[in-house]
Structure 1
């Protein structure tokens, strides 16, 4: 089967697999397109594809899905979910401004089972020809914004925000909803982003898990459980990952003392910095600096 990327009639302006290769980069691809009116042939794809509309101007589109033809007005914050194996084709009558997320079924199945402890049906995602979902669109936009920003910490941020998107997707459009996921429904992508931004602003201070929970408006215990379920690691692990990403950038500054870098990244002292850095990278800061 062809991939969605092979058929789209214009080049993506930004593609996640050109920018980062974190854990989530092996799970989903996110691309941003602005394309003039055009057609996509009706084909069957081996990926799930999720189309998220950012265009503030409503515009007419046509969609062929397993032989059925729909012509509809596509509005900002609307989403179309096409499961893998479904025949689909498109025609749009105005300039598009969309995010396209594509996911291979075997990787989605592994994510759902290993990270969320649920088993998806063979179809995995529901066929959704058109639905308004501003929260899911916002989650995708946050991933896009992180890709555009780049810089130190972008891999960690992309990984975390991509996981937020995937949990929202499975929670709302998975073939089977589960009670284990239902309690996250009121905790929006913006809540997660607020916590991650708080880490980005304060990673150099003595930031605590209680501080992060307070930013989310949750108890520490509830926040820690929810964060682990959605992001895939504990708040402490995420904070250490982020600090190490920032430290890698600072190690490129020739002559900067390691103790200065340790304190600037929020580590209590240089030995603490060295222990965490080696555990996460396999090398000491001094060894990393020598080869980078």
Structure 2
């Protein structure tokens, strides 16, 4: 991720000082689990299926997790039919509540959070990398997210979200090809549901001509998607956004952290990666479909962005 676009996440991951004056860094949520998960998507053989999120399933005895700051968003789906008492510290404030079946807790990255549960737990824990969420929201939904991305939602009921989590859990239980496909599909469905219901969109400026908003971005993205196999210029994208090329290029980079042409190149490469999942499709055909003049041009650009050739990338993911 480029440096400008990552500013908000760099802020999240800056060293923090606790009440003892000790400097700490954000952790991954899995770093301090008190017990091992029964199921863990990170152990899937086909890692492409676990690209959007990590899903872990726990049935644990009463225990606690200390207060820490995490670099990931984490979502807790409660499957336990028996109500039980839970204490949750969030940025120093204690919530002491009864946790009921199908209730969900969303803790955004950067929030200091700690837990103690006083009864047996039966939960699915989903962790999300903010950078991956940002890319998914932009490329798949045409959404520009607020730096926080998710609303801080300590407790709410959502049976549909929990049901989607159960499908993911069941796909993990039998790690075969069909289950990996199911996990891939349902992880996308679940993330779309979460972003549509709980995602924080960037606040639109009243003066639309002065800033680059989600509406501008959606028009630009639609144009890129519809002309992927063709030459795309800054002038064309600026016209879609209703701006002069120079103003468009400036506000685009301020908002997304890359130049319009860097964005188009990254999008072409990303679509090429998806097309390579069809192992029978020739690389030359993929190159043309993604707007490269030939396979050699595709290979040079792909290696510059990804760090390996398309052939090596396909071989590593096939393996």
Q: CA deviation at 1:3?
A: 1.1
Structure 1 residues 80-229: aligned runs within 5 Å: 80-176=105-201
Cα distance in 2 between the residues matched to 1:87 and 1:100: 17
SS in 1 for 2:171: helix
SS in 2 for 1:165: helix
Cα distance in 2 between the residues matched to 1:20 and 1:94: 33
Q: CA deviation at 1:147?
A: 1.3
Q: Deviations over 1:215-251 (max 9, x none)?
A: xxxxxxxxxxxxxxxxxx9xxx99xx8xxxxxxxxxx
SS in 2 for 1:90: strand
Cα distance in 1 between the residues matched to 2:182 and 2:52: 15
Structure 1 residues 5-154: aligned runs within 5 Å: 5-154=30-179
User: Does the Cα contact within 8 Å between 2:49 and 2:180 map onto a contact in 1?
Assistant: no
Cα distance in 2 between the residues matched to 1:53 and 1:66: 22
User: Does the Cα contact within 8 Å between 1:15 and 1:29 map onto a contact in 2?
Assistant: yes
Q: CA deviation at 1:2?
A: 1.4
- The ranges of structure 1 where at least 4 consecutive aligned residues each deviate by more than 4 angstroms after the TM superposition are none
User: Does the Cα contact within 8 Å between 2:144 and 2:202 map onto a contact in 1?
Assistant: no
Cα distance in 2 between the residues matched to 1:115 and 1:109: 10
User: Does the Cα contact within 8 Å between 1:49 and 1:101 map onto a contact in 2?
Assistant: yes
SS in 2 for 1:10: coil
User: Does the Cα contact within 8 Å between 1:124 and 1:174 map onto a contact in 2?
Assistant: yes
Scaled by the length of structure 1, what TM-score is found? 0.61
Q: CA deviation at 1:150?
A: 2.5
Aligned length: 194
Q: Which residue of 2 aligns with 1:278?
A: 280
Cα distance in 1 between the residues matched to 2:46 and 2:200: 28
Q: CA deviation at 1:168?
A: 0.6
Q: Deviations over 1:116-174 (max 9, x none)?
A: 11111100000000000000111111011111123232222111010011001111110
* Cα 1:277/1:103, change in 2 over 3 Å: closer
Q: CA deviation at 1:21?
A: 3.2
Q: Deviations over 1:34-70 (max 9, x none)?
A: 1111111011100000000000000000000111101
User: Does the Cα contact within 8 Å between 2:52 and 2:188 map onto a contact in 1?
Assistant: no
Q: Pairwise CA RMSD of aligned residues?
A: 2.9
Cα distance in 2 between the residues matched to 1:84 and 1:57: 29
User: Does the Cα contact within 8 Å between 2:80 and 2:122 map onto a contact in 1?
Assistant: yes
